[in-house]
Amino acid sequence: MMQIDIKEEFSKIAEEILSIRRNIHMFPELGNNEYKTAEIVEKELKKAGIPIHRVLDTGVVGVIKGAYPGKTIAFRADMDALPVDEKTGSEFSSRIPGMMHACGHDVHTAALIAAARVIADHRNEMRGSAVFIFQPDEEGDGGAARLIKIGALKGADAVFGAHVSPDIPVGTVGIRFGDFYAAADTFDVRIIGKGAHAAEREKGADALAAGAKMTSRLLRIPHALSDGKSVLTVGTFHSGNARNILADEAMITGIVRTHGQAEREKIKESFYRIVAETDKEYSTETEVRYVRGYPGICNEDAMTSLVENAAIKLIGKENVIRISSPTMMTEDFGCYLNELPGSFYYVGAGCDMPLHSSEFLPADEAVLTTAAVHVAVAAAFLK
């Protein structure tokens, strides 16, 4: 069994880990382009003597094998940034115009590097193995599913991950049993009408009017089916090119967020029914691309209890918070939980600006807390 004085271990490397975090933050990279970030990860894991391999061009997987046989635990950190201009005013603000770590992935990456280094120092007393997955493209099409497909979880018995949260205080950990993050499906709708002079509307088929009615009807679906527990958003609507011409085409795009498979299917069914009814009313034809996205996150109870107990032992019961209700946010970590038992937990960000804000900047303490909890979870699981 690993005997780790976690607080002592991190006090020795804190400044070095925070320097790594700041370096990552200053040079953000969008999904599937995390080349510099991957190089930083590789360099730091190699320094700790951790075998690594590059995956999906910009992903990195490191594996520590303990001296004794046992189970295998996996951790994941996402590495990609967002196309946002930073306005934090920090001395380590993004040096790349139009890009920043507005979702805290710099914290996640640096924290997992730190956790890997501490665990590596104790491999000679460790039972089992630890896998560290540094994932590209969480914010885009999702790197998790692609990593699973190439075997990143092969041999693992459980998987864990964390996300900084502005909704709980810095130095705390947020635990949620069961349903946590929403599933997310995207849609692209192309409404095909027939152009005509605005004075002779009867000779055309108004795609813009059909799109407006369709949008209004679609937005009411969640309240009609789930009392507002799901969310449907129309994010873009483009149609028409002149004030006196009936639009012959309209384009609508958006996203649906749901909790539970039954709800997911009900909303999809209603979506297609509304499209068909609107086409009939306006004499239009509509092409729909409705894509199943991230599956949502449902934490496994036993693994969530393990995280909760490990965090209480580390930082005290008063600093471990049970999250009372699920979020409508989405996250591709759910793909891992579809394969293995595990848990996804919050760590207080120490910043009250919302995620994806140009002013979101987690505190240094969030990096160290995240890393320490990862180590505590690993020690408890591999005991």
What CATH number is associated with residue 112?
3.40.630.10
CA distance 177 to 194: 52
Verify that 263 and 316 share a domain, yes or no: no
Tell me, yes or no, whether 62 and 13 share the same domain: yes
pLDDT > 90? residue 226 = no
Q: Are residues 12 and 35 in the same domain?
A: yes
Residue with tokens 């527990």: 229
Does any domain span residue 211? yes
Range of the domain at 223: 183-292
Question: Residue 169 falls within a domain, yes or no?
Answer: yes
Going by pLDDT thresholds of 50, 70 and 90, the confidence category of residue 253 is very high
Instruction: Kindly state whether residue 53 falls inside one of the protein's structural domains.
Output: yes
- Which of these three, 266, 292, 318, is where a domain ends? 292
Q: Give 228's pLDDT tier (boundaries 50, 70, 90).
A: low
The pLDDT assigned to 1 comes to: 60
67 has a pLDDT exceeding 90 = yes
Read off the CATH number of the domain in which 270 is found. 3.30.70.360
| Tens-place pLDDT, residues 141-196 | 899 999 999 999 999 999 999 999 999 999 999 999 999 999 999 999 999 999 99
**Residue 352 shares a structural domain with residue 263:** no
**For range 132-145, the mean pLDDT:** 96
Based on the number of CB atoms within 10 Å of its own CB, is 262 exposed (0-12), middle (13-18) or buried (19 or more)? exposed
Average pLDDT over residues 108-124: 97
Give the model confidence (pLDDT) of 2-20 as tens digits. 778 999 999 999 999 999 9
Last residue of a domain, one of 276, 292, 308: 292
Q: Mean pLDDT across the chain, nearest whole number?
A: 96
Backbone phi and psi for residue 99, each to the nearest 5 degrees, phi listed first: -140, 145
**Do both 272 and 325 map to the same domain?**
no
Does residue 230 fall inside a structural domain?
yes
Residue 1 lies in a domain: no
Pair 262, 153 in one domain: no
Given a cut of 70, whether residue 133 has pLDDT beyond it is yes
Give residue 3's pLDDT.
79
Angle at 332 between CA 327 and CA 333, to 5 degrees: 85
Q: Does pLDDT of 32 surpass 80?
A: yes
45 lies in the same domain as 156? yes
The pLDDT-based confidence of 92 (bands split at 50, 70, 90) is: very high
Q: Is residue 369 part of a domain?
A: yes
214 and 333 together in one domain: no
Q: Report the domain count for the chain.
A: 2
What is the token pair recorded at 168?
A: 């709980």
Tell me the CA end-to-end span of the chain in Å, nearest whole number: 5
User: Are residues 69 and 169 both part of a single domain?
Assistant: yes
Q: How far from chain centre, in Å, is Cα 305? A: 22
Among 250, 269, 292, residue at a domain's last position: 292
For the stretch 300-359, pLDDT in tens is 999 999 999 999 999 999 999 999 999 999 999 999 999 999 999 999 999 999 999 999
Whether residue 152 sits in one domain with residue 14: yes
What are the counts of helices (DSSP H) followed by strands (DSSP E) for the chain?
10, 14
State the DSSP code for 100. B
